[in-house]
Amino acid sequence: MSPIPRHAVKLTQRIRNPTLRNLTLSLIEEASQKPDLAHFTIAILK
């Protein structure tokens, strides 16, 4: 499991629903491991 970027964790801490927060973190982690999705994830989180 690769570390999740700090800015992504800060983003998800604003989500109050724990289930939604965990799903969002999982999605970000999954996307960051796939080269074709990684640039999209980084662009959206900036």
Check pLDDT > 70 for residue 20. yes
> What does the CA dihedral 3, 40, 14, 21 come to, rounded to 10 degrees?
-60
Task: Report the distance separating Cα 15 and Cα 2, nearest Å.
Answer: 22
Query: Is there a domain that residue 18 lies in?
Result: yes
DSSP label at residue 14: T
| Average confidence (pLDDT) over 13-34 | 79
pTM of the model: 0.50
3 state SS of 37: helix
Query: Is there a domain that residue 36 lies in?
Result: yes
For residue 30, the model assigns a pLDDT of 75
Question: Residue 34: which domain range?
Answer: 6-45
Query: Is there a domain that residue 23 lies in?
Result: yes
Contact between 28 and 8 under an 8 Å Cβ cutoff? The reply is: yes
Query: Is there a domain that residue 16 lies in?
Result: yes
Query: Is there a domain that residue 1 lies in?
Result: no
Q: How many domains does the chain have?
A: 1
Enter the tokens of residue 12: 């998800």
Query: Is there a domain that residue 25 lies in?
Result: yes
